[in-house]
Amino acid sequence: MEKDRIEKKIRLHAPLERAWHAISDSRQFGSWFGVDFDRPFRAGHRLTGIIVPTTVDAEVARLQKPYEVKAFVCLVENVEPMERLSFRWHPFAVEPDVNYSKEPMTLVQFGLEESSEGTLLKITESGLDQIPEARRAEAYAANEGVWSKQVELIRKYLEKD
């Protein structure tokens, strides 16, 4: 399998500014995504967090439970207000005895576009073809599922109020 990227799109029934804050505020992001970060998203900064169950979907929270308190590290690349947030991470880095720090990181981008019906969110993860071959297919399959769930989680988060 030589797939380099995963792309997901969803129309969010929320104004652009509200969608932007759900993505760019690390506390809000963590609430729907399922991670507790140690600091705000800032370009050039490394964030460390731990996986926690999402607050917006009990079934997904149950699926996240086995990974609870697992370290979550990302390097923030860009923060372009109302348009894009991007970071690098080690995809599907969940095995407790594996040091992923020597592996290439993938790039995750959250792009927003205002529309007449709310906001279009496009999530793209690229660079998956650089993951070591021994775990590339598993990482791709896992993250394909993760991003399918995450677009629904942000939708639910934005619709909850």
What does the pLDDT read at residue 39?
96
The closest of 150, 161, 141, 160 to 10, measured between CA atoms, is: 150
The whole-angstrom separation of Cα 48 and Cα 41 is 11
Token pair for 78: 């860009």
* Cβ pair 19, 121 in contact under 8 A: yes
**Residue 141 burial by Cβ neighbours in a 10 Å radius (0-12, 13-18, 19+):** middle
Taking the complete model, does pTM exceed 0.75, yes or no? yes
* Cβ pair 104, 131 in contact under 8 A: yes
* Cβ pair 35, 47 in contact under 8 A: no
Spans in the chain with pLDDT lower than 70? 1-2, 161
- Give the chain's radius of gyration (CA, Å): 15
What does the pLDDT read at residue 147?
97
What does the pLDDT read at residue 1?
41
- The letter for the amino acid at 10 is I
Q: How far apart are the first and last CA of the chain?
A: 41
What does the pLDDT read at residue 104?
95
The whole-angstrom separation of Cα 148 and Cα 150 is 6
Q: Mind listing the pLDDT tens digit for each residue in 109-137?
A: 999 999 999 999 999 999 999 999 999 99
